[in-house]
Amino acid sequence: MSPQLLFMQALNGLQYGILLFLLAAGLTLVFGIMSFINLAHGALYMMGAYFAAAAFRHTDSFVLAILAGLAGAMLLGVVLDRCGFSRLYPRAHLDQVLATFGLMLFCNEAVRMIWGSAPIFMSLPDALSRTVIVLGTPYPLYRMLIIGVGLLVALGLYLLIERTRIGMLIRAGASNRGMVSALGVNIGWLNTFIFALGAGLAGLGGAMVGPILSVQPGMGDSILIMTLVVIVIGGIGSIRGAFLGALVVGLVDTLGRTVVPALLSQSLAQELASTLGAAISSLAVYVLMVIVLALKPEGLFPVKKR
């Protein structure tokens, strides 16, 4: 495998990691603050993609499409929080998992009913379809854009959490929920804000990824599992953990799928290499998770709870 190809795959891994971060940040925030695990998070990602695709079809404006995905998911998040999810916040985690699981099934089917089972494609405007040269390697501009947007979001989240009043409330809530509420903060609206923020991030991810993946029912399911792995590895409730965990998982998964089979086929017989390659590449991330948990059961950057 040439160094150039390797570098390209590394960039792909980075881009996938950034996408995972957008999803993981929202999921881990919601869990850290409200102790609410939301399996329908993948559905929010999917809705973001569908809203964006629908908006693009009607307006032909890429920017509007992305905004529609982001805003639509955010709105959906507000509605979910205000109209029922709040009932689930105090319940046991198992109840939350199952209820949001049911919601996810409903969303997948609803999307199937409205838009059909066939994948929808969102095309890229010409301006964004170019390639750029990164360290001597040609790479799609759009994917670099995704990386860029993701890093901006990470920076924005950092500033929000570390430098603003709301961020302080979020940090306080993450380590001691009861105290924040006892101090008179309107925990209800804080919850809605956090939930909407998380939903928006997921929707943004879905919207941005529309042009490079196909938009179809159930697209959120597999990335949801990956997101859960990211959170478990990074430390539940920790944004820093979500960021680093996402990058690690993105890289390991992408490189695992591409590099490992290539390496194996150089040294082993073809059939064995492809079998082993397929097995190892899909397992790489899970093996990583098991190793991390064996050494640090709380994840790499756990949030200290009082």
Footprint of another protein (CB under 8 A): 31, 37, 87, 92-95, 97-99, 101-110, 112-113, 221, 225, 228-229, 231-232, 236, 274-275, 278-279, 281-283, 286, 289-290, 293-294, 297-299
Instruction: State how far the Cα of 36 lies from the Cα of 59, in Å rounded to an integer.
Output: 36
User: Considering beta carbons, is residue 113 or 182 the nearer one to another protein?
Assistant: 113
Output the CA torsion sign for 268, 274, 276, 282.
positive
Instruction: State how far the Cα of 297 lies from the Cα of 276, in Å rounded to an integer.
Output: 29
| Partners of 134 in beta bridges | 137
- The CB-of-101 to another protein minimum distance in angstroms stands at 5
- The CB-of-176 to another protein minimum distance in angstroms stands at 14
- The CB-of-181 to another protein minimum distance in angstroms stands at 21
User: Considering beta carbons, is residue 92 or 133 the nearer one to another protein?
Assistant: 92
User: Considering beta carbons, is residue 143 or 257 the nearer one to another protein?
Assistant: 257
Conformation bin of residue 218: beta by default, left when phi > 0, alpha when psi is -120 to 50 = left
| Partners of 131 in beta bridges | 140
User: Considering beta carbons, is residue 101 or 189 the nearer one to another protein?
Assistant: 101
- The CB-of-37 to another protein minimum distance in angstroms stands at 5
- The CB-of-93 to another protein minimum distance in angstroms stands at 5
User: Considering beta carbons, is residue 8 or 107 the nearer one to another protein?
Assistant: 107
User: Considering beta carbons, is residue 149 or 263 the nearer one to another protein?
Assistant: 263
User: Considering beta carbons, is residue 63 or 272 the nearer one to another protein?
Assistant: 272
- The CB-of-246 to another protein minimum distance in angstroms stands at 15
- The CB-of-35 to another protein minimum distance in angstroms stands at 8
CB atoms within 10 A of CB 296: 13
